[in-house]
Amino acid sequence: KTRRKIESTSKSMTAQKDAVKELTKWYNKGVKEQLAAAKKKDAAEKAGIQRFLNHQRIKERSLKAEAAATKKAVNEIAAVRKKAARVREAAIKKQSAAMSALSGNLRAASESMNKFANTSLLMGAAFTAAGVAIVKVSADFESALTRAATIATGTRNTFQKNFESMSASAIEVANTTEHTASQVADGMNFMAMAGMGAVEVNASIATVAKLATAANLSMA
């Protein structure tokens, strides 16, 4: 009995040892798995934290770059505005000077135009008076020359020819002496009334005009 009891106890102890070994083995395995899982989780958390930190660093660099670009843009805009202000100020000064010069030119032009208008009025009046005088002289010349040519002409067929030749002679004498064309035509009229023909009048009128000038006599 004692032997059987010892064997039974021995078997029981062996079974307990085996159970303890299994438990120890299971425990060790579980602990290792837990440790591995914990390490894996810790590594994942560390990796996540590292990724977050990297993302934050990248974001920080991006924000710094944006801030620098914004500052640069603001400075450039400020510089452009200052330059534009200087250019605008210079343009305003230049425009003001140009307007002043233009105003002076306009005043000068206005004064010149007023002077020209006054002069034109005076010249117009003078030209009008001169025109009236010229028309009168021309009419007197034509009338006197017509009378002279009519008297000096033998027939109507030669009147136009004589009128043209006597007109040319009268104008030539008037251009070379102090007598007017009308006065020369009057002289031709007197010569025709004295019985001279157109040819004789044309040939003698220059000499008669010179004699009248020398004697200080009028041909009218």
**Burial of residue 50 (number of CB atoms within 10 Å: 0-12, 13-18, 19+):** exposed
Q: What is the DSSP letter of 158?
A: G
Question: Structure tokens of 22?
Answer: 């299994």
- How much is the pLDDT for 71? 84
Q: CA dihedral in degrees (163, 169, 174, 178; nearest 10)?
A: -120
The whole-angstrom separation of Cα 197 and Cα 158 is 11
Lowest-confidence range among 50-54, 72-76, 161-165, 191-195? Answer: 72-76
The whole-angstrom separation of Cα 156 and Cα 99 is 74
Lowest-confidence range among 130-134, 188-192, 202-206? Answer: 130-134
pLDDT confidence bin for 82, thresholds 50/70/90: confident
- How much is the pLDDT for 21? 80
Question: Structure tokens of 143?
Answer: 């009338």
- How much is the pLDDT for 134? 40
The whole-angstrom separation of Cα 201 and Cα 207 is 10
Q: Which amino acid is at 207?
A: T
How many of the other CB atoms lie within 10 Å of CB of 142?
Answer: 15
Asked if pLDDT for residue 183 goes beyond 60, the answer is yes
Q: Please report, for the chain, the start and end positions of each structural domain, with discontinuous segments joined by +.
A: 125-214
Which among 181, 172, 184 is positioned nearest to 209, based on CA atoms? 184
pLDDT confidence bin for 95, thresholds 50/70/90: low
pLDDT confidence bin for 203, thresholds 50/70/90: very high
Question: Structure tokens of 150?
Answer: 């009519």
